Amino acid sequence: MNPGRPTTLGALKESGYRPRGVKDELRANLIKKLEAGSTLFHGIKGYDDTVTPQLINAVLARHDFILLGLRGQAKSRILRQLVELLDDEIPAIRGSEVNDDPLAPISMYGRLQVEEHGDETPVEWVGREQRYLEKLATPDVTIADIIGDLDPIKAARGGHILSDELTIHYGMLPRANRGIFAMNELPDLSPRIQVGLFNILQEGDIQIKGYPVRLRLDLMMAFTANPEDYTARGKIITPLKDRIGAEIQTHYPKEIRTGVDITEQEAWTDRDSRPVEIPDFLAELIERIAFLARMEKRVDQRSGVSQRMPISVTETVVSSAEQRAIRLDEPVVVPRVGDVYAALPAITGKMELEYEGELHGADRIARELISAAAGATYEDRAGGAEIDPIVGYFESGGIMQVSEDSGASACVQGFGQVPGLMELIEMVGLAPKSSSDGLKAAACELVLEAMVAEKRISRTRGGSYRRAPYESPSDKGQYPIDPFEA
């Protein structure tokens, strides 16, 4: 607390302080940020032209709002950053459980303090972080949790009758007075508890146990919900939806580059064992897996494919490459496509499958997504390049074994035997003369994986590249029909 702040009601009056509603406070501070051109939501990417303008409108209009979107769309992060629109500190009557404004107390405790001490009423300063309360809605939440209840023990100790306001044990909403109350997964809140929020949103007051106690709360209320929850677990009752000022829909990244930036920001890749160098084309490949999964008919699109998928995949890919670098004593950790296959558990665990997907299996679908992502990444960078000499090498019986434990130098030496392969890495985005063996190996593996996606060659689960499988009776059994079979 700033030592120059007033510590009594009298000093606060002399300072010129005037009460201000929390929504007016948020609005005024937002206007200052807009005028200064400040960043409103740090670490939130891809929402500049969609979600952010709607949030600004809601705050400027002094509306309560709900963020509606699938999992992994930064809804909770946005809510928590609303704190930055609050004042650094506000004055409150010391000891008040509901942050009573010294000039306009709403609780019996606050009013008694002012009556008893007058201008000597002690004042404390409440920081912005203390003015944000968040609750995860679950079916077992009660009215007492949210609003409050009468406390018989308080009554007995203080010699009060139960209808006395001093016997109230306040719930989370009153304790968030003069601040922000956020509730995640609103549909999970039982309908009878949702009814208890009506007065808060419309009239701004609460009632406890039917006693004539009305607290005029000053709150900004914000909610989150997943559209799937409306049918899978619960629903937001219509009268409550009607009282929420704005419904703002969030979304997944619309562009690959935005997704890559989010994953780079969130993924833990700064390891302490060795420096990590993730090829940009591999980061793009990983992001494409999520984009393709969001369009895959065998994946349940109502549940969504969270942005946590590419983040988890990136972290696992780096770990796979780190493990190899430690074993082979390589100075730099450079992930390759084979490491993406090693990250299958980070993919399969992030997808909910439709019936058809269940028949195929999550593992196979994930492998197909990786291969397709490699093909799309290569096509975007080097589509149309001459690959016939490479195909010819494998058609003539050539086999290239690239396991997860193969060192970068050994891989480059092997790839050099494939006609035309090393020449393609420049088109992928590498400078052949200045790039490390690790980057060269990663680029060559991308090219081969793209050819697998085009069914020009095949890849076994063990990382062996060979000619494309054939389905004629004479060739069956020589190479696997399924390019991912061991």
Predicted confidence at residue 233, as pLDDT, reads 54
pLDDT value, residue 161: 62
Structure tokens at 348: 């399969």
Residue 51: CB partners within 8 Å, gap ≥ 6? 44, 67, 78, 248, 249, 250, 251
Tell me what the mean pLDDT of segment 212-221 comes to: 84
Residue 229 has pLDDT above 90, yes or no: no
Q: Which sequence spans correspond to the domains of the chain? A: 9-249, 256-467
Q: What pLDDT, on the 0 to 100 scale, is given for residue 148?
A: 79
Highest mean pLDDT range out of 20-24, 147-151, 224-228?
20-24
Q: What percent of the chain has a predicted confidence (pLDDT) above 70?
A: 90
pLDDT of residue 290: 96
pLDDT for 481 equals 37
Average pLDDT over residues 248-271: 95
Comparing CA positions, the residue from 370, 412, 76, 61 lying closest to residue 223 is 76
Taking residues 159-172, what's their average pLDDT?
A: 72
End-to-end CA distance of the chain: 65
User: Averaged over 12-18, what is the pLDDT?
Assistant: 93
Inter-CA distances, 182 with 42, 88, 133, 141, 287, Å: 19, 19, 6, 14, 31
pTM: 0.86
Nearest to 77 by CA among 48, 109, 112, 45: 45
pLDDT higher for 427 or 202? 427
Half-sphere exposure of 322 (CA within 13 A, CB side): 16
The answer, yes or no, to whether residue 474 has pLDDT greater than 50, is no
pLDDT of 50 reads 95
Question: Which residue did the predictor score with more confidence, 195 or 21?
Answer: 21
* Three-class HEC string of the chain: CCCCCCCEHHHHHHCCCCCCCHHHHHHHHHHHHHHHCCCCCCCCCCCCCCHHHHHHHHHHCCCCEEEECCCCCCHHHHHHHHHHHCCCEEEEECCCCCCCECCECCCHHHHHHHHHHHHHCEEEEEEHHHHEEEEECCCCCCHHHHCEEECHHHHHHHCCCCCCHHHEEECHHHHCCCEEEEEECHHHCCHHHHHCCHHHHHCCEEECCCCCCEEECCEEEEEEECCCHHHHCCCCCHHHHHHCCEEEECCCCCCHHHHHHHHHHHCCCCCCCCCECCCHHHHHHHHHHHHHHCCCCCECCCCCCCCHHHHHHHHHHHHHHHHHHHHHCCCCECCCHHHHHHCHHHHHCCCCECHHHHHHCHHHHHHHHHHHHHHHHHHHHHCCCCCHHHHHHHHCCCCEECCCCCCHHHHHHHHCCCCCHHHHHHHHCCCCCCCCHHHHHHHHHHHHHHHHHCCCEEECCCCEEEECCCCCCCCECCECCCCCCC
Mean pLDDT of 130-149: 88
**Mean of the per-residue pLDDT values of the chain:** 88
Range 460-478 average pLDDT: 65
Percentage of the chain modeled with pLDDT above 90: 63
Res 211: pLDDT: 65
Query: Over 80: is that where the pLDDT of 482 sits?
Result: no
**Is the pLDDT at 313 greater than 50, yes or no?**
yes
Predicted local confidence at residue 162, as pLDDT: 59
Per CATH, the number for 9-249 is 3.40.50.300
At 212 the pLDDT is 66
pLDDT tens track for 50-106: 999 999 999 999 999 999 999 899 999 999 999 999 999 999 999 999 999 999 998
pLDDT of residue 210: 63
In angstroms, the CA 111 to CA 349 distance is 55
* Confidence at 238, pLDDT banded by 50, 70, 90: confident
Tokens 């003069």 belong to residue: 178
Band (160; pLDDT cuts 50, 70, 90) = low
